[in-house]
Amino acid sequence: MAITFDHVNFKYQPNSPFESVGLSDISFNVPSESFTAIIGHTGSGKSTLVQHLNGLLKPTTGTVTVDDFTLTNKTTNKHLKALHQHVGMVFQFPENQLFDQTVERDIAFGPLNFGFDSDAAMDLAHKAAHSVGLSDDLMNRSPFELSGGQMRRVAIAGVLASQPQVLVLDEPTAGLDPRGRAKMMETFAQLKAERHLTVVLVTHQMDDVADYADQALVMAHSKLVKTGTPTEIFADADWVKDQQLELPTAAKFSQQLVTRGFKFNGLPLTEAQLAEQLRGQLPKEGR
């Protein structure tokens, strides 16, 4: 599903003494089946932006289009059910949203809510569980008896069971150790490829932007200040720093290597890019 924001503005508590700007004149396009990262300092408007993707928030002015769904300030909640099914949201610490007695019932809640019969919902629940690496022997256990990582996978499976075509990830690896974060991102990448999903990721992890994103949107003070490929976004290290962001790990390491005489044709953003550019510059063993 392609996504378009057309001059979207959003105000919290409009026409009150507490009115504040959440989004200011946001326009961009997300191609179908692409991976888009949204980055920016805390409070820049990232989460406000993605909550417009399934109607949790509606534009004060402007239009959000998700495939053939159109969202404006005139859209009523009764027209949002189909959009909710097609756009799955995974928030920070999604395991906090678990509530049912068994893993199976928790994952099946979404399909049941969208009108699938019990057998179909349970089948979708098991398929979603398998897709995130949960085994059948966990399905009849309480989700609250599982490890933190397993609970998070149950919550993500609950989103996937409704078969969304857009997967919105709002800091989905928050609180995970580096190995857990890497496994989780690999899972999302695999799901994107297998299900032909459009993925939108809000993250503070610049390595994930470099490794997975086709494009990145940079937010600052409720405005979209830059759009481009990861290479374009990180090309100006001083600008990145001004946005209170960091460079990916490989890029920071390459900057240190420049002070030691190494040369790079463009800033490497990933480990693979760094290794490729270092090939031939390192002395061969035994020389």
pLDDT of residue 16: 95
> For residue 40, which of 278, 186, 246, 187 has the smallest C-alpha distance?
246
pLDDT bin (cut points 50, 70, 90) of residue 97 is confident
pLDDT bin (cut points 50, 70, 90) of residue 102 is very high
The reply to whether 171 belongs to the active site is yes
- 227-228-230-233 Cα dihedral, nearest 10 degrees: -60
pLDDT of residue 212: 97
pLDDT one-digit tens code per residue, 21-64: 999 999 999 999 999 999 999 999 999 999 999 999 999 999 99
Query: What mean pLDDT is reported for the chain?
Result: 94
More confident residue, 77 or 185: 185
* Percent over 70 (pLDDT), the chain: 99
* pLDDT above 70: residue 285: no
* pLDDT above 80: residue 287: no
* pLDDT above 80: residue 19: yes
User: Which strands form 61-66's sheet, in the order they lie side by side?
Assistant: 20-30, 3-12, 61-66, 69-71
pLDDT bin (cut points 50, 70, 90) of residue 77 is confident
pLDDT one-digit tens code per residue, 187-209: 999 999 999 999 999 999 999 99
Q: d(Cα 108, Cα 162) in Å, to the nearest integer?
A: 8
Which one of 95, 145, 171, 276 is the catalytic residue? 171
Domain boundaries, the chain: 3-97+165-245, 248-282
Report CA torsion sign: 206, 207, 211, 212: negative
pLDDT bin (cut points 50, 70, 90) of residue 283 is confident
Neighbours of 239 (CB within 10 A): 14
Q: Identify whether the C-beta of residue 227 lies closer than 8 Å to the C-beta of residue 209.
A: no
Report CA torsion sign: 160, 229, 170, 224: negative
User: Which strands form 35-40's sheet, in the order they lie side by side?
Assistant: 87-90, 166-170, 198-202, 35-40, 215-220, 223-228
> For residue 111, which of 99, 128, 94, 130 has the smallest C-alpha distance?
128
pLDDT one-digit tens code per residue, 200-254: 999 999 999 999 999 999 999 999 999 999 999 999 999 999 999 999 999 999 9
Give the mean model confidence (pLDDT) for residues 270-283. 88
pLDDT one-digit tens code per residue, 107-164: 999 999 999 999 999 999 999 999 999 999 999 999 999 998 899 999 999 999 999 9
CATH-assigned architecture of domain 3-97+165-245: 3-Layer(aba) Sandwich (3.40)
pLDDT of residue 286: 46
* Percent over 90 (pLDDT), the chain: 87
